[in-house]
Amino acid sequence: MGDSRDVILARIRGALGDRPDPRPVPREYQRTRDFPSVLDLFAERVADYRAIVHRVTDPVELIRSALAGKRVAVASDAPPEWLVPEVTWLREPLTNADLDACDGVLTGCAVGIAETGTIVLDGGVAQGRRALTLLPDYHLCVVRADQVVGTVPEALARLEPTRPLTFVSGPSATSDIEMDRVEGVHGPRTLEVLIVSQ
């Protein structure tokens, strides 16, 4: 068995040995744009997707008012100041059943894109693994002002492509062949975003 595997892998390595180097990708397209206010545009576009948007200077009070009395999943490295005592925090590691039964999830993000109203999570600090934001029906996401960029190319320049990237543009929604909108099929039905400016 091991001999056959070695033979097959050796053939694959041999076949790939003379492959040409990848050609450089021309990136002559527009990467940045001037917006009057990147944060205003981001808030407007996120709200366009039926997400609830708040602009705050300190997220703690809004976390308390939004989540008090609930059982909420959170990444194991969430900032301690977010973990207000009025909430029952469920910290990773959690099973899928735990995530399905909780009232929601609180995360940070890697970057926000103003032009598209998109939030990108990469599993970094305060974000947890991908399932954390896909299984609960409610997602409260904290976005710092310095994490918001204008365009998709600007966002991609900040992201590590080998990380598991999740692009979130509003609550989960899909439409069937009759164009009837159904929410919450592939992720949270409710997305609430806190944009934190100093």
Q: How many domains does the chain have?
A: 1
Residue 2 is predicted with a pLDDT of 67
Report the CATH number that the domain containing residue 63 is assigned in CATH: 3.40.50.10420
> Rounded distance, CA 54 to CA 110, Å?
18
Confidence of residue 1 (pLDDT cuts 50, 70, 90): low
Query: Which domain does 95 fall in, by range?
Result: 36-172+190-196
Task: Identify whether 182 is part of a domain.
Answer: no
User: Across-strand partners of 139?
Assistant: 105, 191
Q: Helix (H, G, I), strand (E, B), or coil: what is residue 28? A: coil
**Average of pLDDT values for 132-145?**
96
Task: Identify whether 163 is part of a domain.
Answer: yes
Question: Per-residue pLDDT tens for 139-152?
Answer: 999 999 999 999 99
Q: What is the 3-state secondary structure (H, E, C) of 94-140?
A: CCHHHHHHCCEEEECCCEEECCCCEEEECCCCCCCCCHHHHCCCEEE
* Nearest alpha carbon to residue 183 among 172, 194, 193, 192: 172
Buried-state track 30-57, b at ≥16 Cβ within 10 A, e below 16: eeeeeeeebbebbbebbeebebebbeee
Q: Tell me the pTM.
A: 0.85
Task: Identify whether 111 is part of a domain.
Answer: yes
Question: Per-residue pLDDT tens for 5-54?
Answer: 999 999 988 888 877 888 898 889 999 999 999 999 999 999 999 999 99
Question: Per-residue pLDDT tens for 153-193?
Answer: 999 999 999 999 999 998 888 887 888 878 777 889 999 99
- Tell me the pLDDT of the chain averaged across its residues: 93
> Rounded distance, CA 107 to CA 125, Å?
9
Q: Helix (H, G, I), strand (E, B), or coil: what is residue 20? A: coil
The residue type of 182 is: V
